[in-house]
Chain A
Amino acid sequence: MNDSSTPIIDVRNLTVGYGEGPILNDVSFRVHRGEVFIILGGSGCGKSTLLKHMIGLFRPYRGAIFLNGQDIVVAEGEQRHRILRQIGVSYQSGALFGSMTLLENVCLPLDEFTTLPRDAKDLLGRMKLKLVGLQGFENHLPSAVSGGMQKRAAIARAIALDPAILFLDEPSAGLDPVTSAELDQLILNLAATLSSTFVIVSHELPSIFAIADHVIMLDKQARGIIAEGLPAQLRDHSPDERVRRFFNRQVSSSTQGENATRSKESLHHE
């Protein structure tokens, strides 16, 4: 099962939606062990929807999602819990529990799922917070720290149980460039030291170029993957105009007076 050649995530023919017709149709892709895998695309293209189905929050219309060899779509009861124990998720807004301190937030999964003694859990919690650079903020409430710190604390909580796969929903959205770059660095460090696989939803170009090993790009009209590969390669060599536009931050010709904007944009890039 831990064979490093098999993909850790294998999504096959996935069709998802929220009861009003599919948002994504027949999507298949694979994520290999240790990769930083980024799902990207414009607003409303179903990035977060895909992520939420991959972590088992919703049931897809059709298709299978194998996480570490087990299909989370059909798993029930104890088997499902076993799969969920192998993943960690950090949500868009952090989703830290507001009535608990950062340390208590991180220690919660340890409390519930391990038999470690009290001070061991405490030390582990503090080590995780140290790992994300939050030493000294153990006893702060989430509302008392900044947005970037909340996101880092959420990552610390997600890695509390050493998950094989870590899902991050827009980790750097809404952060200033410096904090965002720090977060990218943190993700790279964690990927290097924890040997976990990262699945990240993002549309922040700088962070995509900085951390991604492999990306897929979703599109609203196509309802599926329109590009897959390395971000730099897609930016420069993609045959698809939508992909190049995304990576080069160009306005769609159908929504803007083409000439003026395009010429200005190309001047910037030359």
Chain B
Amino acid sequence: MLTTHASLETLPTPDGGLRLKLTGRLDAAATGAVWKQAQKVLAQRPSPHLLIDASEISTCDSAGIGLLVELGRRQLQAGHRYEITGLSEENQKLLNLFDPADFMDAKPEEPQCCSLPIEIGKASLSFWNHLITLVAFIGELVVALFAAMRHPRKVRWKDAFLIFERAGINALPIITLISFLVGLIMAFQSAIPMRQFGAEIYVANLISLSMLRELGPLMTAIILAGRSGSAFAAELGTMKVNEEIDALTTMGLDPVRFLVVTRLLAALAATPLLTIFAGMVGVIGGSVVLLTMGYPLITYINQVLSAVDITDLLSGLAKTFVFGILIAGIGCLQGLTTRGGASGVGDSATKAVVTGIILIVVTDGIFAVVYYYLGI
């Protein structure tokens, strides 16, 4: 193996200048050490006239050329002169491509350091723009939905069914798992204190009420936001980055009608169905705890049926339509407003999930207040 070694010697010259002698292989592996050494020398012993002796350089790649440019740049920055001697012809040719004067500024147009007023201004502006986009999107969506209602044959039902399958039916396993476990765990946790009062049977009331009215819709919506909202955003975002959205527009096909309406309809159908399913599985999960405590299944069922009525089920379901619209709408909006490349798609998917979950929780709170005042 060849030696990967480079060294630097400094000698004073008779006229008070400095002479740097570079020796050995100046390649990417060896130049690092010499580079630091040279910078130190120049900082400690500034010299108005630097003589660089390059005659002993055995091989030199662009890192070595970089070092020579750097030395020249430092001298020019300090208002000093420099001279390179003994550089081989081919390396000289390489060096001639670069003028140290071109690299004088430490870093060109460094992004400005953030200042509070500028950041606030930028944030407000982007918030305002975002709001405008949101309003425009909702408007377009409403128009497209009305158009779809007036001409149901123009909706691309095949796409909608496919999306329903991917976003809805394929979500069944995870919905089952989570609802069952939540029902089971909640029943188990509440059964322990209730046992002290001999009131274990009321676990059935607790599970069925909370599952149908609150937890079922909320959990399903959050799972869908994480599973399908992000998928919508990523898919549409990639389409946007690949100019597929532009292609649709120039073909005279409205992306909102073509892509968003189908997803919205699919989500509108999938969310309530999955919610009913989640509630059912959650109640089944709760039953396991009571069965192990020795209550017969029929007792549990009777207790559940006496605790909840159709209003509870419907009040839970009413929310899910709104959740479905939110999940699909936010996902598609984030997808359609994607900018940049791969990282832009990632940002959109993140925003779709985060905004989706926040809006779901806020909407759920609003529903709770409304139901309270309506006495439902």
Contact = CB atoms under 8 A, between A and B. Distances in A.
A161 B342 CA distance: 25
B164 interface: no
18 contacts: A98-B342, A99-B341, A99-B343, A114-B28, A115-B29, A117-B36, A120-B31, A120-B35, A120-B63, A120-B70, A123-B103, A124-B62, A124-B63, A139-B107, A143-B339, A143-B341, A159-B62, A193-B93
Contacts of B342: 97-99
A131 B341 CA distance: 26
Contacts of B343: 98-99
Closest 3 CB pairs of A and B: A98-B341, A99-B343, A115-B32
B50 interface: no
B17 interface: no
A139 B109 contact: yes
Interface string B106-144: 011111000000000000000000000000000000000
Interface in A87-127: 97-99, 110, 113-117, 119-120, 122-124, 126-127
Contacts of B66: 120, 123-124, 127
Nearest to A125: B66
A98 B108 contact: no
Given A116-B28, A116-B31, A135 B36 contact: no
Most buried by B among A119, A124, A138, A195: A124
B40 to A, nearest CB: 11
Contacts of A98: 340-344
A127 B36 contact: no
Contacts of B27: 162
Contact of B28 (A117, A127, A159, A162): A162
Interface stretch (B94-102, B214-222, B267-275, B299-307): B94-102
Contacts of A120: 31-32, 35, 63, 66-67, 70
B75 to A, nearest CB: 14
A124 to B, nearest CB: 5
Interface string B26-51: 01110111011001000000000000
Contacts of B341: 98-99, 142-143
Contact of A193 (B33, B97, B340): B97
B309 interface: no
A251 to B, nearest CB: 28
A155 to B, nearest CB: 14
A127 B62 contact: yes
A117 B94 contact: no
Interface of A: 97-99, 110, 113-117, 119-120, 122-124, 126-128, 130-131, 135-136, 138-139, 141-143, 159, 161-162, 193-195
B126 to A, nearest CB: 17
**Of A114, A116, A131, A143, most B-chain CB atoms within 10 Å:** A116
B90 interface: yes
* Chain B binding surface SS class: helix
B107 A127 contact: no
Given A127-B98, A143-B340, A195-B90, A116 B108 contact: no
Nearest to A140: B109
Nearest to B70: A123
B226 to A, nearest CB: 23
A141 B340 contact: yes
User: Which bracket fits the contact residues of B?
Assistant: 35 or more
Given A98-B342, A123-B69, A193-B94, A162 B29 contact: no
Contacts of A131: 97
Contacts of B62: 124, 127-128, 159, 162
Given A117-B39, A126-B108, A127-B62, 12 more contacts: A98-B340, A98-B342, A99-B341, A99-B342, A115-B29, A117-B32, A120-B35, A120-B67, A123-B73, A127-B98, A143-B340, A162-B61
A143 B242 CA distance: 12
Contacts of A195: 90
Contacts of A119: 70
Chain B CB within 10 Å — which of A99, A127, A130, A143 has the most? A127
B41 to A, nearest CB: 14
B69 A127 contact: yes
A24 to B, nearest CB: 29
Nearest to A96: B341
Contacts of B29: 114-115
A130 B94 contact: no
Contacts of B110: 139
A130 B102 contact: yes
B101 to A, nearest CB: 12
B207 interface: no
Nearest to A115: B32
Contact of B98 (A122, A130, A139): A130
B28 A161 contact: yes
Nearest to B109: A139
Given A126-B103, A127-B69, A116 B63 contact: yes
A114 B35 contact: no
Contacts of B102: 130, 135
A55 B97 CA distance: 29
A206 B111 CA distance: 40
Contacts of A136: 108
Contacts of B109: 138-139
B65 interface: yes
Nearest to B28: A114
Contacts of B108: 126, 135-136, 138-139
A98 B237 CA distance: 14
A259 B36 CA distance: 72
